[in-house]
């Protein structure tokens, strides 16, 4: 998992997102992963403003990664420190 300020993600547009906060890249998600899983995982660490699971256009299955945007850097960093290496089903994030 990585964190980056939304203002430094040149060329990346996450639909429906206002463009403020800290964007966390989450990878190695299962094909059946959805947004609710990310809300549940990251919500306890602080204010989550947006989650997005990237899906295959043809199958609508998760492509293995997604984004979580949090408003507070320290909360986002704590979420990464706590969830990096977390086992979700049979996968390690």
* 1 in a structural domain: no
H/E run at residue 80: helix 73-83
* 11 in a structural domain: no
Query: For 54-78, what is each residue's pLDDT tens digit?
Result: 999 999 999 999 999 999 999 999 9
Range of the domain at 26: 22-92
* 8 in a structural domain: no
Among 11, 12, 20, CA closest to 66:
12
Among 29, 26, 22, CA closest to 8:
22
Report whether pLDDT(49) > 70. yes
Q: How far apart are CA 71 and CA 6, in angstroms?
A: 10
How many domains does the structure of the chain reveal? 1
pTM for this prediction: 0.78
User: For 74, phi and psi rounded to 5 degrees?
Assistant: -60, -40
């Amino acid at each position: 998992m990585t964190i980056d300020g939304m203002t430094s993600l040149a060329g990346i547009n996450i639909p429906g997102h206002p463009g403020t906060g800290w964007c966390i890249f989450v990878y190695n998600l299962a094909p059946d992963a959805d947004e609710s899983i990310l809300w549940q995982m990251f919500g306890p660490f602080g204010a989550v403003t947006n989650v997005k699971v990237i899906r295959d256009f043809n199958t609508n299955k998760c492509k293995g990664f997604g984004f979580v945007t949090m408003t507070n850097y320290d909360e986002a960093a704590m979420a990464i420190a706590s969830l990096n290496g977390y086992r979700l089903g049979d996968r390690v994030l």
